[in-house]
Amino acid sequence: QKEVEQNSGPLSVPEGAIASLNCTYSDRGSQSFFWYRQYSGKSPELIMFIYSNGDKEDGRFTAQLNKASQYVSLLIRDSQPSDSATYLCAVNKGGGGFKTIFGAGTRLFVKA
């Protein structure tokens, strides 16, 4: 079983729509959850983090966490062509942890 699993996509949405990206993780002890965005040929960039069950909103982004289901999601509202990138789900055991594990990423394509 992969530690962090994501649908590789591509996920294609029209401009202005909501993009929904999902992730599951295997380690129940995980406490910190992150979404990174990676443009082609570039390094990952942190866009959202969440530690508690529920929703966390930041601008057009909402992260959702369900620890019982070991499930993390990212919603992007009013998707823009500039949101086209690979979105990486990442998981850390927390507590000042030293090892963050990444999923393989979901490619998002926003059509103008």
Partner 1 sequence: EPEVTQTPSHQVTQMGQEVILRCVPISNHLYFYWYRQILGQKVEFLVSFYNNEISEKSEIFDDQFSVERPDGSNFTLKIRSTKLEDSAMYFCASSDYRQESEKLFFGSGTQLSVL
Q: Where does this chain bind partner 1 (CB under 8 A)?
A: 32, 34, 36, 38, 42-46, 49, 88, 90, 92, 94, 96-105
- By beta-carbon proximity to partner 1, the closer residue of 40 and 82 is 40
- By beta-carbon proximity to partner 1, the closer residue of 63 and 79 is 63
We find the least distance from the C-beta atom of residue 112 to partner 1, in angstroms, to be 26
The answer to whether 3 and 100 have CB atoms below 8 angstroms apart is no
We find the least distance from the C-beta atom of residue 20 to partner 1, in angstroms, to be 21
Collect all residues with Cβ–Cβ distance below 8 Å to 27 and sequence separation of at least 6.
3, 91, 93
Q: Between the CA of residue 74 and those of 58, 95, 96, 102, what are the distances in Å?
A: 11, 23, 24, 15
We find the least distance from the C-beta atom of residue 78 to partner 1, in angstroms, to be 25
